[in-house]
A and B are shown apart, each in its own frame.
Chain A
């Protein structure tokens, strides 16, 4: 049973959200989506490629406006601008090549009103939390892909966001690194108490890390299944040895398999 703090109002609420692009050709990319994410929940989204997962993220943080329906964050509706309190880790490497690791992490706080001392404290904490203390003076070009993603996560962490969105952040990494990064993510989640939404194509990752997993259909993406995992709050990648893990993954795949085949152009 999830012991995350539950408040009456969902932290993030999507109501009948549809996202369409004008043509030519017109594309119905997403929706209708109805989704309520609890405060402090770790929620993952899986789905076939091209189903609109990234569009969902854009809509959730205010980078894109829904064509219809509403997006509410902490009770307030989003109108196409990014509200305070949301941190995003993108799929592509968003580290700034001209700044050192420290400077990259500190970048998020440039517009804040914090004193230099406070900024330094937060940056130091984020850098060591993500295991980058040794490389604080290095530049992204000198680091591996996994480490660059850690820099991006540290940069997000430093802002103390209440909602963290991650779009396939470990996509380019090898399996072992992914598993370890998954553990890092769980540590981050426990430490900050933030609500986390993870988009991933890896079913085992979703099953391992989340309180709940939403399965999206092929485009236009809609949720066709919601799976509650029931994991305890302080968990790590070793949850894979729990017998329930296989069940969860199997259920995800059985929901997803048909949709994936559709995307590949074959009958189920």
Chain B
């Protein structure tokens, strides 16, 4: 079982139903209280308390500076994600269909997934310099392999009887891929996109954190450097909210495409 498969084992768990509204409210309050506690206990040195952060955030969202940085992160992210998704999809399909190539490649890819890629960052910087392309490279470095592995897994777990059905119905290879392979693999591919999304974002942010003058990652680090705690807390909040929103959206999407599969 691939390590990645475990990460979404929970999303496949047949949940009993939604979390009760009461429990969700309690949970939110507990988290906010914890946040508040850490904020005041450290006297605003580490985190700024929720209310203060919220106020600061509202002001921040009105500045042009913030949106400049956000746009920088967004553009780098979109390019990196598109690359990760498309290349990952293509490679995953090839490795899934060509069994032997897939067998050769999978351990290499899985191995790459487990190494601390941050140690390779200096190499990326040496090759790409200190600019947008380095950020995009970081993003792709993190997001490409999971997408490939998920697509590969999706193709592999295709019930062989569907391919045999396609052969018996005398479908051309192109039609077999388009009418049978892709629809059958879609839920897992969406899952791969979801994981790749988070990891690509992680890569881009970390890249910004120490090799860029623009972007939300840079904003976070500069907030720390200037001891502007509300700023860094606000940026963290924005990133957390965006990540969770995107993740939830894609989980729903996966649920919708998979609702008909048993």
A residues adjacent to B (C-beta < 8 A)? 61, 63, 81-82, 84, 86-88, 90, 92-94, 96-99, 107-108, 110-111, 139-141, 159
Contact = CB atoms under 8 A, between A and B. Distances in A.
Given A98-B260, A139-B260, A141-B261, A111 B184 contact: no
Contact of B169 (A92, A98, A111): A111
Interface of B (DSSP majority class): helix
Nearest to A165: B168
Contact of A63 (B162, B167, B186, B261): B167
B174 to A, nearest CB: 12
Contacts of A110: 175, 179
B189 to A, nearest CB: 13
Contact of B184 (A82, A84, A97, A141): A97
B161 interface: yes
Interface in B88-113: none
Interface of A (DSSP majority class): loop
Interface of B: 159, 161-162, 164-165, 167-171, 175, 179-180, 183-184, 186, 257, 259-262
Contact of B186 (A81, A98, A99, A141): A98
A93 B171 contact: no
B262 A97 contact: yes
Contacts of A140: 260, 262
Contacts of B179: 107, 110
5 contacts: A84-B170, A97-B260, A110-B179, A141-B260, A141-B262
B163 to A, nearest CB: 10
Contacts of B170: 81-82, 84, 111
A108 B175 CA distance: 12
A264 to B, nearest CB: 28
The 5 A-B residue pairs whose C-beta atoms are closest, nearest first, are A97-B261, A92-B161, A141-B262, A139-B260, A94-B161
Nearest to A90: B161
Nearest to A142: B260
A63 B164 contact: yes
A171 to B, nearest CB: 13
Contacts of A97: 184, 260-262
A137 to B, nearest CB: 12
